[in-house]
Amino acid sequence: MITPYFDPLACKLIVTGKDRTEAVERILEVLTKSKIYGPPNNVAYLRAICDSPTFRAGNAMTVFLDSFPYTPRYVPSPLRACRARTFKGAPFSVIDVLSGGIDTTIQDYPGRLTGFGMPRSGPMDSLAPRIANLLVGNAPTTEVLEITLLGPSLRFRIPTVVSLAGPYTKATMRVDGKSVEVPMWTRVAVPAGATMRIAAVDGKGCRAYLAVRGGFPEVPPYLGSKSTSMGLGGYQVCFPLYKLLRSC
């Protein structure tokens, strides 16, 4: 476990090769296959740097990163290739959480049913998240955001498709300076740069669900589920979103 009370350096990677081309290919392979579960990390950022034409050519200077364009994108490992093909090559969503709401967590259906003293977890509403997932083209068991009472504010870095399901929840999306209402129980195309604000749940119930095409693939499963529970699973291992999450 990496805590904030120690040096955040997790490890160093050193590779060798007969020439620069081989060394770069080797470090890209290592970065692609490396998995750090739980805390946010810069593995994808390092992979993008090493794969850039400037770095490959050996022309990266000390000011290179000041102007290096980077949009995080999920690169599935070979073990996840089958799942990636499900979405026909569509990029996985990149989301900045501007505000996490009261209690917004990662949940998937049917949740964690391990038993043996492990608390049961999963969505409180077993139907709404599955319908939302189907609307955006996900498998019904894909992880979603479970919104309790008051929702988050999210900024989408790349275009994606979302669906909001559950009791009536007022949500608005700001695009190019204009604010539009987000309808429920349907798929909604979200352009890059759009900001979505999900207000209070205002229907019979206190939880709504936001499905995003592709889900949140870099949230690691724990005991067979990504669901957030008492000290288990979820983003950064059981943390609510608050202001922490930058999704895959």
Q: Is residue 44 part of a domain?
A: yes
Q: Is residue 126 part of a domain?
A: yes
Give the structural domain span for 34: 20-70
* Sequential DSSP letters for the chain: ---TTS-----------SSHHHHHHHHHHHHHH----SS--SHHHHHHHHTSHHHHTT---TTGGGG----------GGGHHHHHHTTTPPPP-EEEEE--SEEEEE-SS-----TTPPP-S-SSSSHHHHHHHHHT--TTS-EEEEESB--EEEESS-EEEEEESS-EEEEEEETTEEEE--SSSEEEE-TT-EEEEEEE-SSSSEEEEEETT--TTSPPBTTB----SSSSTBTTTB--TTT-B--
Mean pLDDT of 78-93: 43
Check whether residue 25 and residue 94 sit in a common domain: no
Check whether residue 123 and residue 173 sit in a common domain: yes
- Give the per-residue pLDDT at 3: 59
Q: Is residue 39 part of a domain?
A: yes
Check whether residue 91 and residue 124 sit in a common domain: yes
- Give the per-residue pLDDT at 51: 93
Whether the predicted model's global pTM rises above the 0.85 cut: no
Q: Is residue 8 part of a domain?
A: no
pLDDT band of residue 70 (cuts 50, 70, 90) is confident
Check whether residue 56 and residue 108 sit in a common domain: no
- Give the per-residue pLDDT at 210: 96
Q: Is residue 190 part of a domain?
A: yes
Q: Is residue 203 part of a domain?
A: yes
Give pLDDT tens digits for 202-245: 868 899 999 999 898 878 888 889 998 866 676 664 444 443 44
Check whether residue 149 and residue 177 sit in a common domain: yes
Give the chain's domain count. 2
